[in-house]
Structure formats: C-alpha cells, structure tokens
Amino acid sequence: MLNLSKNRVEKVVPQDRLYSLRAIQTPNAGRTLARWMVGLGIVGLIILFLPWQQNIRGTGKVTAFNPAHRPQTVESVIAGQIQKWFVREGQFVKKGDTIITIREVKEKFFDPNLLVRLKEQIDAKESSLVSKDAKAKALQRQISALRDGMRNKIDQSKAKLEAEKIRFQNAENQYQRNKKLYEAGNIPLTKFQDIEYKYQGAQADFTNAKIELDRVEAEYLDKISKAESDLNSTRADLFDTQGSIAKLKNEFANMQIRNERYQILAPQAGFIVKAMHAGIGETVKEGDAVCTIMPDSADLAVELYVKAMDVPLVEKGRHVRIQFDGWPALQFSGWPSVSVGTFGGTVKVIDYVNSKPGEFRLLVLPDETNDENWPKQLRVGSGIKAWVMLNDVPVWYELWRQLNGFPPSLYEEPLSDVMDKKDKADKAKDEEE
C-alpha cells in the first residue's frame, strides 16, 4: 500500500479482520531480529575499535629454575650387586641418607683385608726406602773420604816429586861439571863413573815419582768412580721405591674411597620417585641409575616453547599468562584482565639456540608484581599453556593481521636490544677516548 490517502481503512475496519492487511504487516519477530542485528552490528563495530593485547602462544611444562632442583637420577659409581634397599618409592630422604647397599663383584677386590694388605706393603716399601736412603748417604760419605784421601796422596806425591826433581837437577849439574873435569883429565874415570851412576839414579827416582803421582790419582779416581756408580744405582732404587710407594698409596686411597661407595647415598633432600633396579642380587654397572629423586624445592619455573618466528618479539621481563593442566581456566588472550584461572609470570631466560626443531625455549618465573601466587599443588613435569603478552592494538588490526598471517606488531624496541646498543655505544666511546 502507498498510503497516499488520509482516509485510513484500519480506522474503519480493524486490520486483524482482513487477511490481506494481516499478510502485508511486518511480523513482530522480524522487527525484533532487525533490532538485534542492528544492536549487534553497533556492538561489533565498537568492539573493532577496542584495544587488544597481542600475544605469542606456546606450550611447555613445569620445571625448576635451578638445575640442581630438577629431577635427577642417582647413579652407582662402581659396579656391584644389590644387597639391600633402605627406601621405598615416594619416601622422603635427607641429604646423605643411605638409599641402597651393594657388594663387590670384581674378584680383585674380594679380599676383606685388602686395605690391611696394602698398608703392610706400604710399610715394607717405606722401610726399604729408609735402608736405601741410609746406603746412599754412606756412599756419599765414602766418596767424600776418597776425594779427601786422593787430595792428600796427590799432595804427598807432588812433594816427593818436587824433592826428586831438585835432587835430579843437583845430580845433573854435578854430572855436567865432573864430565868437563874428566874430559880435561882432572879427575879419574872411577870417580866420574860414580857420579854418573848417582845421576842416573836421581833421574830414575824423578821418573818414578812422576809415575807414582799418576798412579795414585788413577787409583783413587777408579775407587771414586765405582762408589759413584754404586751411589747412582742406589738412588735409582730409591726413586723406584718412592714411585712404588706412591702407587701403593694411590691404590690404598682408591680402595678406601671404593669402600665408601658400597653405600649409595642421597645427594640432596627429596622424594624417591622411581627405582630402576628392584631385585636383591641384581647387578648394576658403573654409571647405572638405581633410582630417580625429586629434590624438595619450591623453586618452580615454566619451560615455554615458542616458534622461531616469534622469538625476536620476546624480551626478558615480558609478562606471561599461564594456564596449568588440571586448573580450570577461561583465558581471553587479548584481554588478560578478564581472564579467570590463569596465573602471571615473567620471562627470565631466552635460549640462544633452538631446543626443538623450529622452537625456542623460554624460562618463565612467577610474576613478583602479581599477588596471585602459583598453586602449591604444582608438580614438576605438569603441562601448561601460556601467552606471552605484547603490545596493545585495535581489534580490527588484530583480525586483519591474523587473516593475512602477519607477525605481531612491535612498536617499541625491546629493552634488551636497547641496553645492548647502549653498552656497545659506551664501549666504542671508551675505546675512542
């Protein structure tokens, strides 16, 4: 109907009596739906301009921040056979408590008095060392006495040689004078022959004195050389004995330490999680794990794995929202303030190499600025989902980014990069100065 006339039919005839009028009338449900659609459109338009906090999603597990507080295996340092268990799975142990006792399986260590035997060998070697040291000192004194005796004998021989030399020179002078007198006919032949005989005797005595000097020196040098050879041989035995003693002491110390390894002790306080070897009499090798211990520590952290493309956007100190497995939660990733059941955290460590193919690990600690503490019931190894919170953008921009597969925006340079650049600039300035 065009509604051109001022005379309205519905004023004369009620509209609900005529079928044609009822058919062209707009249904109430349609008007209600239209109103709802307009309202939702307006709300949706408003939502598009609301702030949305961008985030990086990741998964991981609960761990301990200090590596010493993470689950560890207790290993046997030596090979042995299980003799007795002192703990049960799930039991709490203190540092130094005995977990298991093993007995020897190597035949070279079967002797229960092995330490006593080794001590006896060490004592015998030390006594031998004392005797050889005394012998070496005696040989040194002998060599010193021989050197003194050689000097005295040489001095005596030199004095005798000097006397024989003077006697020879006198005899030679007398011989030359009497030879001239004999040739002149002033003395008889018998007297000249007597003087010549004395001259030859003096010459022989002088020669013998020189030979005696060389003989005395050679004799003493031979004795000294023999004594020095004995001394060197004794010193060699002495050093060999010292080496044997050091080796025995090393073996004795190793055996003492080995005896202490028959009791496998708890390295720190914690709970026994799992026993790797169960039966009495079961053999364990060096380095075999006998059980796993979970240290008693509240030093909890989260291992969060994010994609490699998102790592450049993460910096230390970024806030994280965490959802722990087993805790009911409702997380609005873009509006963390209205999330329920999630807990706050802060990025503490960013690995420099990938931990998994295409993923990097972040270590997240509880947010100290948040009053909501992490649940005390958390256990290491529990799974988590987390969102690393970035900057605020409009909802329409986030939808457009997601549809186009673009990375999150980063309006401000990460604080860590700013500090690195500042440090490099300060260093370059110092070098120029």
- Show pLDDT as tens, one digit a residue, over the chain (433 residues): 455 556 665 555 555 665 565 665 656 676 777 788 888 888 878 877 777 777 788 999 999 998 888 888 999 988 999 999 999 988 999 999 999 999 988 888 888 888 899 999 999 989 988 998 998 999 999 989 988 888 888 888 888 888 888 888 888 888 888 888 777 777 788 887 888 888 788 888 888 888 888 888 888 888 889 988 999 999 999 999 999 999 999 999 998 888 888 999 999 899 998 888 777 888 888 888 899 999 887 788 999 999 888 888 888 888 888 889 888 777 666 666 666 778 889 999 999 888 888 899 999 999 887 767 888 888 888 899 998 887 777 777 777 766 766 666 654 444 444 445 555 556 555 655 5
Q: How far apart are CA 385 and CA 263, in angstroms?
A: 42
Q: How far apart are CA 218 and CA 321, in angstroms?
A: 99
Lay out the sheet containing 263-265: strands in order across: 263-265, 98-103, 80-85, 283-284
Structure token digits, residue 411: 């309006």
First to last CA, the chain: 93
pLDDT of residue 214: 86
Q: Tokens 């260590």, residue?
A: 109
pLDDT of residue 293: 92
Q: Which parts of 261-348 fold into alpha helices (H)?
A: none
pLDDT of residue 397: 72
- Say how many C-beta atoms besides its own lie within 10 A of residue 127's C-beta: 11
Backbone φ and ψ for 234, nearest 5 degrees, come out as -65, -40
pTM of the model: 0.59
The answer to whether 158 touches 213, Cβ cutoff 8 Å, is yes
Q: Tokens 């035997």, residue?
A: 117
pLDDT of residue 411: 46
Backbone φ and ψ for 88, nearest 5 degrees, come out as -125, 160
Q: Which parts of 360-414 fold into alpha helices (H)?
A: 395-404
Domains of the chain: 49-66+297-432 (2.40.30.170), 68-104+262-295 (2.40.50.100), 114-260 (1.10.287)
